[in-house]
Amino acid sequence: MVPLTYFQLLSAALFAIGLYGVLARRSAVLIVLSIELMLNAVNINLIAAASHMDGVGRFSNFDGQIIAIFVITIAAAEVGLALAIILRMYRNRATVDVDEINLMKW
Amino acid sequence: MSWLLFGLLAVLTLGGGLGVVATRNVVHAALFLLLSLTAVAGVYLVLFAEFLALVQILIYGGAIVIVVLFAVMLTRSSDYPRISDNRQWPLAVVAALGVLGVLAAAFMSRPSPVTRPQSPVFDELASSLFTRWAVPFEVASLVLLVALIGAIIIARASGNER
């Protein structure tokens, strides 16, 4: 059996890749994709902990899976909303480059 | 056997992730994301979380990647290759490596428990979701509804548009 630490390291690596994407890309769609990578890293961590550990107190050992379901729900809502905003942005400014969207920049 | 599967799926996951952040072509990035997310579903199977693996493939593979591809098609995709990365991408590399180092140190610092992976049966998961987690469940459905309405209102073409 693969120990929990390896799943956590996989999750940390995926999170770091997503973080790099969010910080370094300029196209708004690619930033949204990188955020998805980070959310998936969190889910791997949650589910690995849920299936490797026993329940503590009021929490049973599969509550992590249920929280992961909620994370997936929020991710779906976030993608829909983010892409709607990107479409509107594209229609108003004719670009998806976040460096050119500086209307609210102080 | 599980080591082999885990290694293969980890390589696919991280390779897909690196593809997402490295390629200039947005369609390729979406397809790399699909590869990565499917591999993550495989990781869930290694962890005996079958229901989550199904949900992952249905929602991410089936819905989110398709929506992203639609958005790429509706915006002018010939523009995308021109949009390069930030000038401060070396700083982004440093930040990502720093976060990776901190997380890895934190995860390695405590020994992992020795209990072997176990999975709840489906009805256990479902009864927990609809009893103890019923209120968050309803809130999540409300969030989805609000996000849906908001997305329609934001993306709808209004009459006085230039």
- The reply to whether B48 and B124 lie within a common domain is no
Considering CB atoms only, which of A6, A76, A81 is closest to B59?
A76
As for how many domains chain A has, the answer is 1
Report how far residue B53's alpha carbon sits from residue B41's, in angstroms, rounded to the nearest whole number: 4
User: Is A79 part of a structural domain of the chain?
Assistant: yes
Considering CB atoms only, which of A81, A90, A99 is closest to B147?
A81
Q: Could you tell me the sign of the dihedral formed by the alpha carbons of B20, B23, B27, B28, in that order?
A: negative
Helix (H) or strand (E) holding A82: helix A63-93
Query: Per mean pLDDT, which range of A82-96, B13-27, B72-86 is the poorest?
Result: B72-86
pLDDT digit string, tens, across residues B46-68: 888 888 899 999 988 888 899 88
Reference A64, options A17, A14, A15, A7; nearest CA is A7
Task: Give me the domain span that covers residue B46.
Answer: 1-81
Reference B56, options A49, A47, A81, A50; nearest CA is A47
User: Could you write out the DSSP letters of every residue in B33-81?
Assistant: HHHHHHHHHHHHHHTT-HHHHHHHIIIIIIIIHHHHHHHHHHS-GGGGG
Q: Is B127 on the interface with A (CB under 8 A)?
A: no
- The reply to whether B67 and B128 lie within a common domain is no
Q: Could you tell me the sign of the dihedral formed by the alpha carbons of B60, B63, B65, B68, in that order?
A: negative
Q: Is A100 on the interface with B (CB under 8 A)?
A: no
User: Is B57 part of a structural domain of the chain?
Assistant: yes
pLDDT category at A63 given cuts 50, 70, 90 is confident
Residues of A in contact with B111 (CB under 8 A): 5
pTM of the shown model: 0.89
Say which residue the tokens 């949650």 belong to: A46
User: Is A40 part of a structural domain of the chain?
Assistant: yes
Residues of B in contact with A10 (CB under 8 A): 10, 13-14, 43
pLDDT tops 80 at residue B9: yes
Report how far residue B136's alpha carbon sits from residue B134's, in angstroms, rounded to the nearest whole number: 6
User: Could you write out the DSSP letters of every residue in A18-45?
Assistant: HHHHHHH--BHHHHHHHHHHHHHHHHHH
pLDDT digit string, tens, across residues A13-48: 999 999 999 998 888 888 999 999 999 999 999 998
User: Is B54 part of a structural domain of the chain?
Assistant: yes
Report how far residue A60's alpha carbon sits from residue B128's, in angstroms, rounded to the nearest whole number: 9
- The reply to whether B70 and B133 lie within a common domain is no
Q: How many Å lie between the alpha carbon of B77 and the closest alpha carbon of chain A?
A: 10
User: Is B26 part of a structural domain of the chain?
Assistant: yes
User: Is A106 part of a structural domain of the chain?
Assistant: no
Report how far residue A50's alpha carbon sits from residue A64's, in angstroms, rounded to the nearest whole number: 5
- The reply to whether B134 and B76 lie within a common domain is no
Residues of A in contact with B8 (CB under 8 A): none
User: Is B137 part of a structural domain of the chain?
Assistant: yes
Residues of B in contact with A5 (CB under 8 A): 107-108, 111-112
Residue B132 backbone dihedrals phi, psi, to 5 degrees = -70, -35
As for how many domains chain B has, the answer is 2
Q: Is B66 on the interface with A (CB under 8 A)?
A: no
Q: Please report, for the domain that includes residue A14, its CATH number.
A: 1.10.287.3510
Q: Given an 8 Å threshold on Cβ–Cβ distance, is A69 in contact with B55?
A: yes
Judged by DSSP in three states, A59 sits in strand
- The reply to whether B139 and B74 lie within a common domain is no
Q: Is B134 on the interface with A (CB under 8 A)?
A: no
On whether the CB atoms of residues A40 and B40 are closer than 8 A, the answer is yes
Report how far residue A95's alpha carbon sits from residue A24's, in angstroms, rounded to the nearest whole number: 17
- The number of angstroms, rounded, from the C-alpha of A9 to the middle of its chain's C-alpha atoms is 16
Taking CA atoms, B158 is separated from A92, B82, B141, B147, in Å, by: 11, 29, 27, 19
CB burial string A55-69: b at 16+ within 10 A, e below: eeeeebbbbbbbbbb
- The reply to whether B75 and B125 lie within a common domain is no
Task: Give me the domain span that covers residue A65.
Answer: 4-93
Share of chain B above pLDDT 90, in %: 41
pLDDT digit string, tens, across residues B106-148: 888 877 666 666 666 778 888 888 888 899 999 999 999 999 9
Amino acid present at B134 = A
Considering CB atoms only, which of B60, B86, B151 is closest to A26?
B86
User: Is A60 part of a structural domain of the chain?
Assistant: yes
For residue B118, the model assigns a pLDDT of 65
- The reply to whether B66 and B133 lie within a common domain is no
Amino acid present at B138 = E
For A51, other C-beta atoms within 10 Å of its C-beta total 25
ipTM of the complex: 0.88
Taking only residues 11 to 40 of chain A, the set having a beta carbon closer than 8 angstroms to any beta carbon of chain B reads 12-21, 23-27, 29-30, 32-34, 36-37, 40
* Radius of gyration of the CA atoms of chain B, in A: 20
User: Is B150 part of a structural domain of the chain?
Assistant: yes
